[in-house]
Amino acid sequence: MDRYRIPPDTPVRLGRFDPGDTAGLQEDDAQDRLKDLTRRLENLQELLYAEGKHKLLVVLQAMDTGGKDGVIRHVFKGVNPVGVKVASFGRPTEEELAHDYLWRVHAHTPATGQIAIFNRSHYEDVLVVRVQGLVPEEIWDRRYRHINEWERLLVEEGTLIRKFYLHISPEEQAERLQERLDDPTKRWKFRLGDLDQRARWGDYMATYEAVLSQTSTPWAPWYVVPADRKWYRNLVVATVLVDTLEALQMDYPPSEEDLSGVVIPPAG
């Protein structure tokens, strides 16, 4: 999956990434691979929780309909919810605005033995605020440095970070938005504000390019995931996460007591 990983200090042009890329795979083959990967991820998550030495933060960013919910639903469907939590970040509350912009995010980072998934993230504070002009450039520009150093702190304290930008084309987004309008069971997801953001597609792409260029670091890399094909999107994310956790070479901890010769007595 290194083809999708952004090296540090690399200028990114999203036009060079094909949202419809499938690396020559067919859907049936990819689905078979995904089944194997989700089984392995299920076992790795249990091992992560049992060993209690590491923690994993997964960051998902995308334009509307990019597939953040779909990744969570399909890639993590077999994991034990005891060891996994999902955090979504919408418009800040008054209390959150009274603190620094990373305050509300830090509380949702994973504890030891856990996986935390950010469905949108602290990157909204260098994306939406820039495109919408909510804060001046001198503020959002320095936040790249803040975020890099904050993520370095997390990593040095034992957190693995993997960040995924789910890259869809405007044509695919149009189809997905239309599906939401046409399907009564999905229409609740549609907001007129989605069209406002779509009208500023070029501004958002330029802003994502800046984010990917300035915040893909050795300790917290970004992956640009082709997302026009949902099955390939899921495969890429699952592969990166399984490779990341398997590289830890985790082991189940030994029992704290000598259990040799223990026999379970009959119930009394």
Amino acid at 23: A
Q: What is the pLDDT of residues 69-92, one digit of tens each?
A: 999 999 999 899 999 999 998 888
d(CA 242, CA 250): 12
Name every residue whose Cβ is closer than 8 Å to that of residue 169 and which is 6 or more positions away in sequence.
Answer: 19, 20, 228
Sheet containing 222-226: order of strands: 84-88, 115-119, 55-62, 159-167, 222-226
Count CB-CB contacts under 10 A for residue 60. Answer: 26
Extract the tokens encoding 209: 């390019």
CA dihedral sign of residues 82, 84, 88, 89: positive
Q: Which domains does the chain possess? A: 2-246 (3.40.50.300)
Q: What is the pLDDT of residues 120-176, one digit of tens each?
A: 999 999 999 999 999 999 999 999 999 999 999 999 999 999 999 999 999 999 999
The structure's pTM equals 0.94
Alpha helices for the chain (secondary structure H): 27-51, 68-75, 94-97, 103-106, 124-131, 137-156, 170-182, 192-199, 201-215, 230-246
